[in-house]
Each structure stands twice: as structure tokens, then as C-alpha cells.
Structure 1
């Protein structure tokens, strides 16, 4: 069926969070109009306090005199307040737009609604051509906190490939109450590692589906060691691009151990990069059990114990410095997809 999302993201941080969660739109439309037009439109709004219905003094005035008499001016629509919100919007939108290259279209909304609608409809019915010169089968490797999930989401969004996260697949299998889900359940309940043979069955099932065969895929979270890499290879799903995201040990610790969640709103914060706006919020923030320094260090150590064998197993590994802006990292990864395959490079 598909979906349409409105009202979010309002900031670059929200755009990054959405992409990290794997929400990748195929088309992004920005409706644009001069500020003077938007202010005029806003000033004409009226609200019916009886049912919350919104009307407009110029474009949508009710014919019922009783309704007319009870309409009120909504709060926050004065010229000064509207101009302030528009300034904030313009500041944020210029930072959001680079998050959606190649799939973005700006449509003037200062024209009849029916014209705006048909321009938008024509655009969403269009198909984007991929820049990839082959069917991508991409593997992203790196320690926990290196940004694999976000880069996979960006690749899936731009190239229309399937984002395959091993951890998500196992959770989906568990929630489906299927036979394989019942095999997985005891391991989840006892917080134990799911056996490799079960994981590879789940992966084979997903990578064999038509969308992965037709569009390609980007895999992260598996393989984590040489045995898993061998299982993936023997199953016939050898990647044709392998990227290792290198992030310093201290940077990973900083990224993960300072993450917090507000239990009252679900809002996510980072004590350094996105601190809570008030002390009241800061006092109630909670840390995810997996983000403690002890557990993060165990995950990092586990990755680096196996990484050298993984690097040697795959041919033509591309190394990327993951300790920089996410979109700079993405540009380096993208160059490794579009350009001829290098032998051994460090980006």
C-alpha cells in the first residue's frame, strides 16, 4: 500500500533519526510559497471551538451563519508569530534537504490546489533511475556505534536497494510466531546468542526474496566472524562491495554511553551532541542497559577480535573513516559503489 508522511522531519536531527530507523521515502516533496503569501493565509484561519473544524476567511468560509458567529481566531497565528516560525522553518529546511538527494522535488504551492495536486501526483508516480552500475550486494562492517544502520538506510533510500539488518530480521521472525520464530524465542528469553545455523536460515529466506534479487541489498549485523562469513558465502550470497567503517575506540564509547531516553516522551538525547533543554528533563533521563560502558566495551572488543579474519576473507575491502559527518561518510561509500572497484584503498 505504501505511506505518506507529513510534519516530520522538522530538523536535520529528526531526518537522521528517521533514516537510522530504516524509514526511507522514495519521493520527497517540498511545497514552497513566498512568506508574504503564507502569512496572509495564516492570518485568515478561523476555528470552530465546537468541533475543531478549521475555516478560512477567504478560501473556505462557512455558509451557515450560526457557525460563522462562533468562529474564533486560533492562538499563535499573528503576523509576528507566523514570521518567527517561518524563520525557524527556513533555517531547518536548508539542513534537511541534503538528506534526500536525487528524490527531492520542490513544487510551488502558490497556485490552485488542483495544479499542486497533479504536479505532486505526477512526481510520485515517476520511477528513479539508480546510479549503481550493477545490482548492489553491499556488506557494511564495523563495531557497534560505527554508523552502519544509518549508512544502510541512506544507501537503501538513494539506490532503492533493500536494507537487511540481521538483528531486525531475528526480531521480526520472533514476532511472526512462525516455526523459525519458535526456535529463536528461547535464546531471546535467556539473552543468549542465536546459533549461526538459525541466523543463516533467516538470512537466506530474506535475501532470496524477489525484491532483494531484483533491487539488490545492503546487509549489516552479519557476518560478525569468519564462520558466519563462510556460511554466507556457501549460501551463495557473497557481497560485491564490502565496507569497513573505522571509528576510534573512544569515539564509539562517547557515541553510545552518553545516549539517553526521556521515559515520559520517548525523545532521545545525547548528553554531548543533543543535551536535554531543561534540568527537569535531564533528571528523568534513562540509559538503555546495552549502552553501559561495560557492555559497549565487550561488543567493541568482540568485533576487533574477529575483524582481521573478516577483512582477509573478503576481497577488495574498502576502508572508510566513520568518525566524521554521516553525509561525508556516505559520499565515500557511494564513491566505492559507483566507481570501478579498487584493489585496496583507504578513504
Structure 2
């Protein structure tokens, strides 16, 4: 079903950071899916997630490739003035990783268990980087460390580094490891400075990752434009996932200086599910980066949004439990999404919650978020 509704704003500026998972926004513009729905997407390369947040709030950006937890942190006033935010759709699942320095690997720390053993044997200040304090990478890193008995707030020093700066910081010896999106984990292996200790899909198979976000003010005043953005990005997501050839073509385009600014080889292996850890082990990953997966990736489940609030509560970023379901129902734009999904003939799930089992065996289904947040042995 085609969009017959006039967009309130025809030219939309969508921010992104230099990561493989910006691809659906870039390809929506490059392949002309945006024009099909009466808009023109102008991708805008940003220097950090803080820049993305600030420009969304000032209106310099209309929408953005954004961190799930950053959107909810802004909604709840963590680290910034509280502002009503909107998640238009999920952009991708999986495809992030935790990298440890080659120096740590040579000391025997190659995964969570051996890292915990080394930290016990050699007490010092271990420094790990994530990309934004409330974002997905901070939460994956915290979850992974805690699952191995390492308290991320007391046992390590956390720093915030923009994604594209992770490898230079690691190479310079400023940190012991990091959690970030691709291609920077694979780039660390290519440059011989890091190893992949864990993928994010090992922490939570089929986990939600980036979202297409906007301020709620923008969505209220531009509902037709918002639907058109969702529809265009849905079509681009479907196109990327349709074949390996499409993924390789995408890698060629986004590797350019205008977007991720790295070699195509840094992107191409892991988007095809071909993984190596930098220590001679390789595997085909059944839960590699996905952009569409017959629409299963893209629906903005309430439980996906709520999970990040449970972790913000777990780590003391929230001092009390929010009304999880109420907040998520306001942020997740499920009605707009369903309308755009109808335009693009994208299947939608029957429910707004989904169930997942994470690496520590805990089941998350969104039904009792306050109890879930309080259930962890290691928490603030």
C-alpha cells in the first residue's frame, strides 16, 4: 500500500554515528526509498551520541540513529533535562561486541571468566570504555561483567568514548577494553590491538540495538513525515537483509568517508555472519547483525524499551522504579509503526511484549520489570 498522505516536512535530516548499523538510514536515502514516500532523507554524520541527543533536542536533527538507552535516559532526565522522546522503530538486532586489549589476551584474559581470574590475581584499576552512560553498550558491558562476578561500578573504571575513537584509544593504551558496535571490534582485530571476548548476541540473542528516534514534539507535529521515515527505512532494511549481495553492496557504500570511513573489509565479514576472535578461532554466527528478518527486528516492542529502564534502575541511574509500562507505551510509537508497516506490507507481531533468555539464564518478558530489576545479585 503506497503512502497517499502529504508529509508535513519533505526534507528530513537524520543523524547517525559511524557504525555499520546506520546502514538502513543511509540506504533509504541512497536507493530512493525515501522519495517513494514523499520525503528526502539527508543523513548527517555526527561525532558522538551526546551530539545526537543534543541536536535532537534543539531541532537541528529531525530524527536519528540512536541508542535505545539514550532515548530512555533523556525521557527520564538521566544526565540531561527530561524531554518527551519517541522511538519510531527498531533499526537492528545483534552485531555489537566486547573487545579486550591484546595485552590482556596475552596475560590470559580472553573471555569473561578468564578476565575475572586475572583481575583477582592482579588487582589494579582496569579501564573499560562504552559509548554513552545510559546507552546499549554501557548496559551490555555492565551485564557481561556482572554475569562473571565483576562489579562494573566498583571493580572497573568506566570511560565514555565515541565509537570511531575506540580503536585509537585502545591502541594508545588508554583502556583495557571496550564495548561498541561494528566495525570497530573487527577493526581492532585487523590492527592487532584487540580480541573479541564476547559478542552482544552471546549476552542476549536477538537483542534490540539501535532505534530511529525523534523528540515527541516532532512526531506530534509531523505524524505523516514520521510514518514516511519509518516506511522508507523499513524498505531499506528489507533490501539489506534480502541477500548477501545486497549486504556487500551496502558495505561498499557505507565504508566511504561520508559514512563509516573505514575499509570495506572491516565491515563485510561480520555482516555476513563470518566471525573470528583474533586468537585463531572462527565461526558462523547464527545471530549476526539483522536489519529486518521479515519485520521481526523492527517492531518497537514495549518490553525492549522497558529492559533498558530495568538496567538503568539496576545500576542506580534511576533512583526509584518508574512506571515502566506507562513510560514505554508513551515512547514506543507502535501505532505509527503499524501504519507504516501496512504501507510496506511488513508483518507485525500480535503482542507488544516478547520473551528472551539472557546469558545468565534470566528470562526477560516485560511482565514484572520492577521485580526483574531488583533480582540481580550485583547491582547498585
TM-score, normalisation: structure 2: 0.28
More helix by share: 1
Relative contact order higher in (CA < 8 Å, ≥ 6 apart): 2
